[in-house]
Amino acid sequence: MIKHLFFVTSFIIGLGSLDAQELDNYDISYSSISEQLDNIIFRKASNGIEYKPYDEAKINYSTLLKTNPEDVKANYGMAITLYANRECAKSIPYFEKALKKSIDTVAEMYFLLANAYHLAANYNKAEDTYKITSGLLNSNHFSLSKQEQENVKNYILHRITMCENGKRLSTSSQPGPLFKSKQKIVVSNISGNINSKYDDFGAVFSANDSTVYFTSRRDDEGNVYYSHLQNNQWSNAASIGWPINTLDYEAIVNISPDQKRLSFFKNSVYGSALHYSDYADNKWNLPQLSINKGERNEYNKANNC
């Protein structure tokens, strides 16, 4: 299980340019758009799969696989469990076996496997699997709305570009500073007051670096937490609380320079979408969807809301 709050982003898989329409509508980063699409597809792919609590699910699927290593459902369940817990590289052999043995074409499974290859820096297999995914998308194998399909199509094209960039950088004869011989990147705990035994990720710092906001799965689903830097020490991480955090999934995206507006993804009646909350009168106000009325109507039509 991942125990570190990552501040080093994946510099290879994050390269490239995004031309998707969403960036014209929202003032947010590509990584935020990709997280939204990942969440949409993961929810569809994991429908009916028992993958929480994570530790219990891993034990259950391990037991089933000892009895029948070829069982499609057990392999898929283990893959989903590991993928959900950000152990993507470990999920690969289970996705591969589930796909090999399955009699159905599970388009979303190919998408998750492509992402897993990508995160494991296996760019050739990632690119090939993204192309398979794109073909399945064009053949209407995905249970997505028309707008979601268009968004995912652009997303996959961008991911393929990332793979090409990754292959070039990993074989370059004139690498940048991070690729120099014997150069190491070390990921370590920022503080015992912040890191937990669960996933802590997506760190966002305030303008003066005195506060860090991040997403944590310590409450199982995923909520926004924060910590203040005081006397050169980080305070105990605390939940940002209601109305931002709910029983559903919330993930931090950005905090304004004055720390008066927090942007985050959350599940709502509009699906998994970008929201914001303003800080006023010493409290965070009710979240608002980050699109205007006209865009909201279009969003509702596209998603049958």
Separation CA 287–CA 305 (nearest Å):
19
Give the phi and the psi of residue 203 in degrees, each rounded to 5. -65, 135
Which region among 76-80, 107-111, 112-116 has the lowest average model confidence (pLDDT)?
Answer: 107-111
The mean pLDDT value for 11-31 works out to: 35
The mean pLDDT value for 103-116 works out to: 85
Burial class (CB in 10 A: 0-12, 13-18, 19+), 85: buried
| Beta strand ranges found along the chain (DSSP E) | 200-205, 211-216, 223-230, 233-234, 238-239, 250-255, 261-268, 271-280, 283-284, 288-289
Q: What is the pLDDT of residues 23-45, one digit of tens each?
A: 333 334 445 566 677 877 888 88
Residue 111 confidence class, pLDDT cut points 50, 70, 90: very high
Which region among 108-117, 220-229, 286-295 has the lowest average model confidence (pLDDT)?
Answer: 286-295
- What's the pLDDT score for residue 245? 93
239 HSE (CA, 13 A, CB side): 13
Calculate what percentage of the chain has a pLDDT beyond 90: 36
Residue 157's H or E segment, with its range, is helix 146-170
Residue 5 confidence class, pLDDT cut points 50, 70, 90: very low
Q: What is the pLDDT of residues 150-177, one digit of tens each?
A: 888 888 998 999 899 888 877 766 555 5
Which region among 51-60, 66-75, 190-199, 222-231 has the lowest average model confidence (pLDDT)?
Answer: 190-199
- What's the pLDDT score for residue 32? 53
Give the phi and the psi of residue 233 in degrees, each rounded to 5. -140, 140
Q: Which amino acid is at 150?
A: E
Find out whether the peptide bond into 53 is cis, omega within 30 degrees of 0: yes
